Amino acid sequence: MRRAVVRSSATQELEVILPSKLAIENVSKNFQSASGPVLALDRVSLNVAEGEFVCLVGASGCGKTTLLNIIAGLEKPDSGTVLADGKPVTGPGRERLVMFQEPALFPWLDVFGNVLFGLRLKPNLTNKDRRDVAKYYLELVGLSRFEHANIHELSGGMKQRVSLARALAPNPRVLLMDEPFAALDALTREQLYGDIQEIWKARRKTIVFVTHNVREAACLGDRVLLFSPHPGRVQAEFMVDLPRPRDINSVDLAAHATRITKALKSVGHAETNAAK
């Protein structure tokens, strides 16, 4: 009913021309620490377009994970708004799934059960559909053979692949990734860079990817946002227009990474100087 009302009004026109999948406006967040309140995010604004791959880079503790949690709806901002598809985010939702840094897989379920978990919560599917979809995503991340494996039997890289399959399975339009590859060895990480680009292309997701690794950001993102800490702010923005799939070791990519690293260092220096 409500949708019909909206359609007949001018609001629809406004919605149609809204280009952003995610619109973050003036979001601020404080934390209580032992030494008093810390401003984790200071009036952060950013827009993410449909199908865009945005990387947030910054030193540890610059508030990028907090921002990701706020977009996910797991935390509430002290002020400011987050709009997803033009609607305010009030809590977690299937449309915006999170892949955490540590694999948050459920040890009481096997691999297949984990991938199925989110699907079971999705209405309007038959159980056969759910199983087929789960199988498809396990195949996509190359773990079909490990369907019935227990979680503790998997390597770190395999766990993150299962996490990825679990996050993808309910077909969210936005994928929020919080340093998902930080704990993996270089070789596994490089494989996953390839995988994630392929999946992003095949499934046309909007991805917000948090990392402290500049090369990783340059390899994956259409756009790289540089965060400065204390208080957390968006300091600079870089477009990365290299063709895909990108190789993390390519020279062109290194040039981009160097540019971002320089900016990152200057942010660090500014902060050190300010502290003096």
Binding site for other proteins (CB under 8 A): 72-74, 91-94, 96-98, 100, 102, 104, 106-110, 117-118, 121-122, 150-153, 166, 170
In whole angstroms, the minimum distance from the beta carbon of 180 to other proteins comes to: 13
Nearer to other proteins, 92 or 194 (CB): 92
Rounded to whole angstroms, how far apart are CA atoms 185 and 187?
A: 6
In whole angstroms, the minimum distance from the beta carbon of 166 to other proteins comes to: 8
In whole angstroms, the minimum distance from the beta carbon of 48 to other proteins comes to: 17
Pairing of the two strands 174-178 and 87-88 = unpaired
Nearest to 23 by CA among 71, 62, 65, 90: 71
Query: Which tokens is 269 given?
Result: 């220096």
Give 130's contacts (C-beta < 8 A, 6+ positions apart).
116, 119, 120, 122
Nearer to other proteins, 21 or 166 (CB): 166
Question: Taking the CB of residue 263, how many other CB atoms lie within 10 A of it?
Answer: 19
Nearer to other proteins, 74 or 254 (CB): 74
Nearer to other proteins, 58 or 73 (CB): 73
Which residue shows structure tokens 């934390």?
A: 31
Give the SS3 label for residue 50. coil
Q: Output the CA–CA distances (angstroms, integers) from residue 230 to 55, 61, 93, 158, 273, in the order listed.
A: 20, 8, 29, 35, 13
Nearer to other proteins, 116 or 226 (CB): 116
In whole angstroms, the minimum distance from the beta carbon of 99 to other proteins comes to: 9
Q: What is the DSSP string of 51-74?
A: T-EEEEE--TTSSHHHHHHHHHTS
Nearest 10 degrees: Cα torsion 207, 208, 210, 214: 70
In whole angstroms, the minimum distance from the beta carbon of 74 to other proteins comes to: 6
Nearer to other proteins, 39 or 117 (CB): 117
In whole angstroms, the minimum distance from the beta carbon of 104 to other proteins comes to: 4
Nearer to other proteins, 24 or 226 (CB): 24
In whole angstroms, the minimum distance from the beta carbon of 19 to other proteins comes to: 25
Compute the C-alpha angle 151/200/65, nearest 5°.
Answer: 65
